[in-house]
Amino acid sequence: MATGAGKTHATLAMYHRWLREDQAMPLVLIDETHHLVIRNGNTRSATAFQHLMQSASLPQPKAPIKLVPLAFQPRRLRVLSDAELYAKWMRQAEEWERTGRDQRRADSTTVHRVRNPLVRKAVLRRSKGRCENPRCRNPEPVGYTDKGDPILEIDHVIEHAKGGRDHGSNTIALCPNCHALKTRGRDRHEFGAFLQGVAQRAHRAAPRSQ
């Protein structure tokens, strides 16, 4: 705290009570003569103050940590075999059961457009029980339901939920494999465009009553 030469002692007197109450806190005043007035009233030169600040009792800055570069060591990752992956995932599934996570329940609510059941019946009859995808590797039915219907998915080429028509020109009968390719396949967009033309041609070629 810098003061004038004649005000130094007055300033010390003003802080005298505070100095008695907190003896642990030092007070250093610098007057115009660049002398230091410390708690006991003695004066020291600025050189002595600098020596005090450089005392060994004060914490000295630590030397910077030297970083030693390490040689690059590439790691080769081992690819697990199918058997190892299966065993790993089954261990995780068993741990899932042990912790009770397999007993959790989740509520779900879905909202969808109501489908016309007559369209499904018409397309199923139009397909004659076979997959309508001309590229299908196995167009014959993979099996039959309890009612005797062939196991086919009656699918909207343009999704019904996105505004697609519930009509024979937008609906096609697909085997489970072709339906999965259209829904989740990597080339589903191109495949869907192809099936759109197939559904429209099948609708136009379907027999009409007179």
Beta bridge partners of 172: 155
Q: What is the pTM of this model?
A: 0.57
Q: How far is CA 12 from CA 16, 20, 32, 50, 108, in A?
A: 6, 12, 15, 22, 78
Q: Domain map of the chain by residue range?
A: 5-53, 117-205
CA gap 152, 159 in Å, rounded: 17
pLDDT values of the chain reduced to their tens digit, one per residue, 210 residues? 444 445 545 554 554 554 455 554 454 444 444 444 444 445 545 555 555 555 545 566 677 788 888 888 888 888 889 999 999 999 999 999 999 988 998 888 888 889 999 999 999 999 999 999 999 998 788 889 998 888 999 999 999 989 999 999 999 999 999 999 999 999 999 999 999 999 999 999 988 765
